Structure 1
Amino acid sequence: MDRTYEKALEIIDSRKRVRRPNAACSSRASLLPNLPVGSGTSGLRGMPSLVGMAEWLQPVGHSADDINALNIIHVAGTKGKGSTCAFAESFLRAHGRRTGYPAKTGLYTSPHLICPEERIRLDGRTIDRERFARYFFEIFDRLPQLHSPYDSSLPVVQRGPRNLQLYALLAFHTFIREKVDMVVLETHSGGEYDATNVVERPLVTAITTLGMDHVVTLGPGMENIAWHKAGIFKSGAVALSTVQADDTDRTVEGVLHGRAEAKGQVVRFVAEDERLPTGARQLQPRVQRKNASLGLAAAEAWLEARGKPRELSANDVQAAVEQWSWPGRFKVVHDAGISGCTWYLDAAHNEMSVAIAAQWFAAETAAASAMPTSSLESGEGSARILIFSHINELRDSVALLASLATALRDCQAEIGHVIFTKYATIKPGEDKADWRPSLEAEKLHATWQKCQPGTRIWDESSIGAAVARARDIVKFSTCSAGQVLVTGSQHLVGPVLEILQS
């Protein structure tokens, strides 16, 4: 068989679930007999991703003890998970560079922005494609289920891992083969039944900011979502959480306390850490200080659990922040092809996140623009453009856009042009399709115009066409500069960033 990187991706992609089942799987109860009543778990559809993980790890050659020996920091939450994981890894990598331990770090996050191998990092660097393919086919050789097309009618273990389960297996296998000293592990969704929760004895567990997201599978309310996320808490593992902004009688924090106590732990809520450097661009906007503080607390708790000095040095903290980067979050790119055009990219994909993205865009553009937004089309100031796309059966794209439009309006960030697009990545020169706006697109138009009625709206059938449209608007505008906000999904931000960097 062809054992290239491309072939590995072909097999992984072939195991994507086409769509979630409409109803809860009737066989769940036999596989998960301890399914609690009244916890919100009835919202789950289909088989929980945790089912089968232990059974697939065994033929690959890894026991529960092998996974536990990775010395894991496990992170769940609604927003800020990737940033928090990257901060925790960066703090420990900086500490290891100074002291010699940890000598080698691993980081697993999901989803990827541009390339699938971004999900698995060693010492802060994406693994190379040769190792990605080599380790994948080592798994392939040991799991005969992967040799046949995915068949959802078979029992779970016999059908083999789905797409995300396979990525998690590949990450565990890579970290074990590479003999890392520690791993920071991000959940995919939820926590209790997430594929990554096959870890029985992490050293540290951490919960980032929680909000209303994945309601269909984790809801219906915040307490249900908190219950799922806190499923990563384990006996013997430090339990941390960022300070939760909950307006309903501290319900969320109460759930986290209860779930930690059930494991014999006391959850510690982490406030903003004053040791973080001021003025660092990596800690902008302010929410990143919150994520960094939780990452710092997790790193120090990990060192304490390993019997090492608890507190990182001031130099460790400074160096970790300076070396930290996270693609697709609060990213500013100056367009090399269009003079004066600046792109602001953030992969926000829920209502909490797009509101923060709007605030960040407003603050950044206000600082960069000498003229007020009222001069948008007057020959001065900047042409402000939004590129938006969000396609997800579990979220309401119209509600997401409404939150974004309202937040931009409240921040006085008036948008001159909005470009709606699909996730298609056809290059503009190859794009011959005539995309007629669907009913969904018409709803997006109406939602936007309700908040900012003076905006010119465009529909483009591919991401490449949307980028070309934005560049043309700036190029032929009478304004002196262009400011383009790209948000709504990683599936949008990744391809746009790839175009800009090409």
Structure 2
Amino acid sequence: MKRSYENALKLLESRRRKARPRTPALASINQDAVTPTDNQALRGVPSLVGMEDWLRKLGYSENDVNGLNIVHIAGTKGKGSTCAFTRSFLRAHGSRTGYPNKVGLYTSPDLQCIRERIQINDEPIPEELFTRYFFEVWERLEAPNLEPSVLPMRQPRYLQLLALLAFHTFIRENVDAAIFETHHGGEYDATNVIRRPIVTAITALGMDHVAQLGPTIENVAWHKSGIFKPGAPAFSVFQEESPAEVLRFRAAERQTTLRFVPMNESLPANNKTLSVPVQRLNCSLALELARAWLQAKAPQHTLDESDIAEGVSNFKWAGRFESIEDGASGWFVDGAHNTLSLEQAARWFVANTNTPLTNQCRILIFSHFSEERDGLALVEALANSLAELQAMPEYVIFTTYEEREDGTTRIDKTLKPPETPFPDLCTIYTSLWRQRDSRASVSSEATIEGAIKLAKRISAERGGAQILVTGSLHLAGGALSILRPQEHGTT
């Protein structure tokens, strides 16, 4: 097969499984406490299995992985933003002092381009580099074992392969620091092959991926804190007491320290980046991670006020609290897809549009289709939040995850949307919103492009509009590929 970017994407896609397996025997877990005896029921998805063998086949030892000087981050909400803030602080310090000079970042999912998942110094790795390193990994793993007595090795699945590619890329590119976001859990996550991180962190916890992580918040906390390692200080935002107790137990079990980080009241004033409390909390956590990393790797270095100000100012995270100015229209894109995140998205939208100088109409574009979450509950939560903030939109447009009206899509779109039962669910959403707000103009569009075109027409007729696009990462990614088609080579 020709070593092309397109072929790399096809081979990667061939490793995607149809559905995530569900953890068995979750009903047997003690609901009062999570103790070591419960771990047998907390089997999770064994994505970690095979990672060490595959890394060895790629020619890497545990020391090679440890040498990446890793910050390992798990949690339910805010993982990506915390990773990006940590990267931004380390980059700011490196720009001033020369160290770290090269910072790698591995996150998921991507919104516009698969290469977003593996970044070096704020940029997705180029197509040429992605292609070269992908085929190096693919061909080494596909190569037969030289010893006949060794049984054939099973091949990694989609996310496992991406994590292996990230390790390979960062080692080959000789990064000074690498920030890794877990995929779903922690204890059994493929990224937990990291044995000696420099520092670990847990962002806000909530009930998500319950089929894999368990039916209680204590189960979730147990899984996420599986990234704690001896000797690597652990940090967490403040949690509710029950999951916090699980985190303390796991820290003691792993022979490490755990510190709960409050919101830092000394952060710079930056309404664009820190206009919602959740981002200030993620930023506060990231600041402590960057400080701990420097203390371990360069004790003579400290983050000064200029590093912090530059880190906040240069922060960027596609599809999360992202605003775009387009003539008289202001677009506010956030991939919120659970009730808490939607409440935060509503507050952010209103904080940035509810000013005396802003007398434009508000438009909401929403889409959510998922077997794991109740879409009606999400619509209800968003409507409640906007109503409480006295910011109900005049126009509401429900749509699907289909991007373009002609059915085409960008070649490197790997965030595969599920089947969308349009128009059934959109019709239900439309009916629900009309019951909540009879004054709003509510409609549905078959594609994201159609929804954006309609919003632009309304904006032109009304002399400008403020448009909130939220409900799903699929929607956020599709919207950005249309609103910013020049970025990352999307078409």
Q: Distance in 1 between matches of 2:103 and 2:423?
A: 47
* 1:319-468 equivalences in 2 (<5 Å): 319-335=310-326, 339-367=327-355, 370=358, 381-427=359-405, 437-468=422-453
Q: Does 1:6 align with 2:6?
A: yes
Please give the root-mean-square deviation of Cα atoms over the aligned residues, in Å. Answer: 2.5
Matched AA of 1:327 = A
Q: Does 1:48 align with 2:51?
A: no
Q: Distance in 2 between matches of 1:38 and 1:469?
A: 53
TM-score with structure 2 length normalisation? Answer: 0.88
- Structure-2 residue corresponding to 1:376: none
Q: Is the 8 A contact 2:400 2:422 kept in 1?
A: no
Q: Distance in 1 between matches of 2:143 and 2:274?
A: 44
Of residues 231, 248, 267, the one that matches 1:236 is 231
Q: Does 1:202 align with 2:193?
A: no
Q: Secondary structure at the match of 1:281?
A: coil
**CA 1:280–1:453 in structure 2 vs 1: closer, same or farther (change >3 Å)?**
closer
Q: Is the 8 A contact 1:206 1:239 kept in 2?
A: yes
- Structure-2 residue corresponding to 1:185: 180
* 1:5-404 equivalences in 2 (<5 Å): 5-21=5-21, 24=24, 37-38=37-38, 42=42, 44=44, 47-144=45-142, 158-244=153-239, 246=240, 250-279=241-270, 281-309=272-300, 311-335=302-326, 339-367=327-355, 370=358, 381-404=359-382
**CA 1:471–1:202 in structure 2 vs 1: closer, same or farther (change >3 Å)?**
same
Q: Which moved more, 1:214-223 or 1:67-76?
A: 214-223
Q: Does 1:500 align with 2:483?
A: yes
**1:272 Cα deviation after fit:** 2.1
Q: Secondary structure at the match of 2:451?
A: helix
Q: Distance in 2 between matches of 1:499 and 1:78?
A: 28
TM-score with structure 1 length normalisation? Answer: 0.86
Q: Is the 8 A contact 1:55 1:157 kept in 2?
A: no
**1:185 Cα deviation after fit:** 0.7
Q: CA offsets, 1:70-91, max 9 Å, x none?
A: 1100001111111111111111
Of residues 477, 481, 484, the one that matches 2:464 is 481
**1:442 Cα deviation after fit:** 3.6
Matched AA of 1:288 = Q
Q: Is the 8 A contact 1:78 1:211 kept in 2?
A: yes
Q: Secondary structure at the match of 1:172?
A: helix
| Contiguous gaps of at least 5 residues in structure 2 | 27-34, 145-150, 410-419, 486-491
**CA 1:104–1:9 in structure 2 vs 1: closer, same or farther (change >3 Å)?**
same
**1:102 Cα deviation after fit:** 1.4
Q: Is the 8 A contact 1:383 1:482 kept in 2?
A: yes
- Count of residues paired in the alignment: 461
**CA 1:430–1:222 in structure 2 vs 1: closer, same or farther (change >3 Å)?**
closer
Identity of aligned residues (%): 48
Q: Is the 8 A contact 1:191 1:230 kept in 2?
A: yes
**CA 1:218–1:41 in structure 2 vs 1: closer, same or farther (change >3 Å)?**
farther
Q: Distance in 1 between matches of 2:218 and 2:339?
A: 18
**CA 1:165–1:214 in structure 2 vs 1: closer, same or farther (change >3 Å)?**
same
Q: Secondary structure at the match of 2:355?
A: helix
**CA 1:286–1:116 in structure 2 vs 1: closer, same or farther (change >3 Å)?**
same
**1:483 Cα deviation after fit:** 1.4
Matched AA of 1:48 = P
**CA 1:159–1:388 in structure 2 vs 1: closer, same or farther (change >3 Å)?**
farther
Q: CA offsets, 1:352-376, max 9 Å, x none?
A: 1111001111221212654xxxxxx
- Structure-2 residue corresponding to 1:153: none
Q: Distance in 2 between matches of 1:36 and 1:426?
A: 50
Q: Distance in 2 between matches of 1:171 and 1:199?
A: 12
Q: Distance in 2 between matches of 1:430 and 1:121?
A: 27
Q: Distance in 1 between matches of 2:407 and 2:121?
A: 39
Matched AA of 1:100 = G
| Contiguous gaps of at least 5 residues in structure 1 | 27-34, 147-155, 371-380
**1:455 Cα deviation after fit:** 2.6
**CA 1:56–1:450 in structure 2 vs 1: closer, same or farther (change >3 Å)?**
farther
Q: Distance in 2 between matches of 1:442 and 1:429?
A: 21
Matched AA of 2:258 = V
**1:158 Cα deviation after fit:** 4.1
**CA 1:275–1:175 in structure 2 vs 1: closer, same or farther (change >3 Å)?**
same
- Structure-2 residue corresponding to 1:373: none
Q: Distance in 1 between matches of 2:41 and 2:338?
A: 21
Q: Is the 8 A contact 1:106 1:183 kept in 2?
A: yes
Q: Distance in 2 between matches of 1:75 and 1:457?
A: 40
**1:472 Cα deviation after fit:** 2.2
Q: CA offsets, 1:421-453, max 9 Å, x none?
A: 22112236989xxx9844433432343334333
Matched AA of 1:4 = S
**1:176 Cα deviation after fit:** 0.3
- Structure-1 residue corresponding to 2:416: none
**1:157 Cα deviation after fit:** 8.0
Q: Secondary structure at the match of 1:458?
A: strand
Q: Is the 8 A contact 2:400 2:446 kept in 1?
A: yes
**CA 1:419–1:263 in structure 2 vs 1: closer, same or farther (change >3 Å)?**
same
Q: Is the 8 A contact 1:428 1:465 kept in 2?
A: no
Matched AA of 1:483 = Q
**1:289 Cα deviation after fit:** 1.5
